[in-house]
């Protein structure tokens, strides 16, 4: 399992560099700083030489975990890291006794949707024209992982 630790303010410059390379509509440094100030759970994931290669941010909302951001450095993608980071989020959500993990993903982001579907997430609804896009706007797919259902499956396995 890849090494992880909580994200610190001193990580933000590196995190924003990764965000800008890996995403078409990157969060600003202030977006990340606001998450840390709000005490959202944020982790960075480290390579063997302690370089940040991925990060994620989760907001606790009563008994739900909202996955606000998950990102793997461009040249580290496609090697299973995204799955490791998502598994970390699922473990955290189980630890906080969350019943549901929810997230929004761009309708064009097939890669991320595949990752979520393969981890057991389902499509819950569509928010029409939610995101700004290169041309006009783009729908958000709201996806959820029902952790109560997951625990029932693991009991009966
Ligand atoms: C989405 C993201 C986190 C996936 O991370 P990753 O390290 O590349 O993914 P993994 O190597 O762990 O692959 C996990 C699964 O993702 C899917 N996937 C990975 N690469 C894919 C590709 N090129 N096309 C389609 N699906 C792909 C597959 O389901 C894969 O499972 P498999 O290997 O069993 O087939 C990463 O691409 C990323 O950071 N993208 C930019 C930021 C982003 O879009 N974040 C999500 C916002 S909602």
User: Do 70 and 15 meet the contact criterion of CB atoms below 8 Å apart?
Assistant: no
The arithmetic mean of pLDDT across residues 119-138, rounded, is 96
- Using the predicted structure, report yes or no on whether residue 116 has a pLDDT greater than 60: yes
What is the per-residue burial (b if ≥16 Cβ within 10 Å, else e) of 69-83? bbbbbeebeeeebbe
Which pLDDT score, from 0 to 100, does residue 78 have? 97
Q: Residue with the nearest Cα to atom 36 of ligand 1?
A: 72
Which pLDDT score, from 0 to 100, does residue 1 have? 77
Q: In this predicted model, what pLDDT tens digit does every residue of 65-97 receive, in sequence order?
A: 999 999 999 999 999 999 999 999 999 999 999
104 is catalytic: yes
User: Do 101 and 119 meet the contact criterion of CB atoms below 8 Å apart?
Assistant: no
Which pLDDT score, from 0 to 100, does residue 155 have? 58
Pick the atom of ligand 1 nearest to 72's CA: 39
The arithmetic mean of pLDDT across residues 38-45, rounded, is 98
Pocket probe mutation, ligand 1, options 66, 111, 121, 138, max atoms within 8 Å of Cβ: 111
DSSP SS3 for 77: coil
The arithmetic mean of pLDDT across residues 130-154, rounded, is 90
Q: What is the pLDDT confidence band of residue 5, given thresholds at 50, 70 and 90?
A: very high
For ligand 1, say whether the CB of 107 is within 6 Å of any of its atoms: no
For ligand 1, say whether the CB of 114 is within 6 Å of any of its atoms: yes
Which pLDDT score, from 0 to 100, does residue 148 have? 86
Query: Domains in the chain, please, with CATH?
Result: 3-156 (3.40.630.30)
Average pLDDT, the chain: 95
Pick the atom of ligand 1 nearest to 73's CA: 39
64 is catalytic: no
Which pLDDT score, from 0 to 100, does residue 17 have? 98
For ligand 1, say whether the CB of 70 is within 6 Å of any of its atoms: yes
CA distance 105 to 123: 10
Q: What is the pLDDT confidence band of residue 51, given thresholds at 50, 70 and 90?
A: very high
Enter the DSSP assignment of 28.
P
CA distance 71 to 85: 9
């Amino acid at each position: 399992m890849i090494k992880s630790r909580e994200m610190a303010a001193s990580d933000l410059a590196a995190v924003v560099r990764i965000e800008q390379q890996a995403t078409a509509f990157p969060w600003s440094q202030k977006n990340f700083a606001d998450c840390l100030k709000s005490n959202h759970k944020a982790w960075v994931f480290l390579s063997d030489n302690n370089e940040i290669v991925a990060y994620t941010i989760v907001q606790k909302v009563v008994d739900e975990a909202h996955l606000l951001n998950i990102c793997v450095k461009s040249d580290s993608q496609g090697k299973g890291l995204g799955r490791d980071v998502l598994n970390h989020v699922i473990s955290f959500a189980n630890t906080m006794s969350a019943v549901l993990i929810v997230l929004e993903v761009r309708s064009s982001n097939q890669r991320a949707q595949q990752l979520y579907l393969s981890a057991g997430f389902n499509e819950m609804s569509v928010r029409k024209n939610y995101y700004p896009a290169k041309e006009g706007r783009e729908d958000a797919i709201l996806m959820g992982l029902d952790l109560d259902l997951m625990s029932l499956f693991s009991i009966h396995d």
